[in-house]
Amino acid sequence: MAGIDERLRFYPLRIAVITVSDTRTPETDKSGDYLATSLVEAGHELAGRAIVQDEVEAIRNQIRKFVADPAVDVILSTGGTGFTPRDVTPEAVRPLMRREMDGFSVLFHLASRSTVGLSTLQSRALAGQIEEKFIFCLPGSPGACRDGWTHILVHELDSRYRPCSLAGQVPRLRNLCA
């Protein structure tokens, strides 16, 4: 049965959060705040945080910085996944990926459907790997971040999750989580 095996050791991940928005500031970034607070409450380390404009190169530049940082294992982004002309997160991130995690989008939409119904179709949430680091791109609303965190990420980023978790795919944890 899938779930957390409390007999196993928890290995914290170092997670960076990027908010993609033309309007949010550190004082008004509720989605970034939610993700940062949630990951720390789950026992992980907030390895970095940034707010960038809805521009392909601004998004890519910040992601490249986090990917190059050895103190970052995982990147969570929020915002820019919709269908307005300024929503360009998928266009910025997808070319950087060496592998896409198709199942994340499917699971996100299933989780999101229970809260926003068919409006989940308006999201282009995605995930994958850039070099050896995982990136998860969530919509910009706090509710969407909550859906993604509570239904998917809190479990998949927990080294105790069985039958397996993504924590075991992080290079520094690969042998510890086996």
- Dump pLDDT digits (tens) for 77-98: 999 998 998 999 999 999 999 9
What's the rounded Cα separation, in Å, for the pair 110 and 131?
28
Instruction: Please give the single-letter amino acid code of residue 172.
Output: R
- Dump pLDDT digits (tens) for 97-156: 999 999 999 999 999 998 988 888 888 999 999 999 999 999 999 999 999 999 999 999
| Residue ranges per structural domain of the chain | 11-171
CB 70 within 8 A of CB 103: no
- CATH for 11-171 (3.20.20.140, 3.40.980.10, 3.30.70.20, 2.60.40.1180): 3.40.980.10
Percent of all residues in the chain with a pLDDT value above 70, rounded to a whole number: 99
Q: What are the helix (H) ranges across the chain? A: 30-41, 56-68, 89-93, 102-116, 142-148, 154-156
- Using pLDDT thresholds of 50, 70 and 90, give the confidence band for residue 178: low
What's the rounded Cα separation, in Å, for the pair 7 and 84?
46
Query: Beta 14-20 vs 74-78: how paired, if at all?
Result: parallel
Structure tokens at 114: 């229970």
* Mean pLDDT (whole number) for 34-42: 98
Residue of 11, 18, 12 whose CA lies nearest to 135? 18
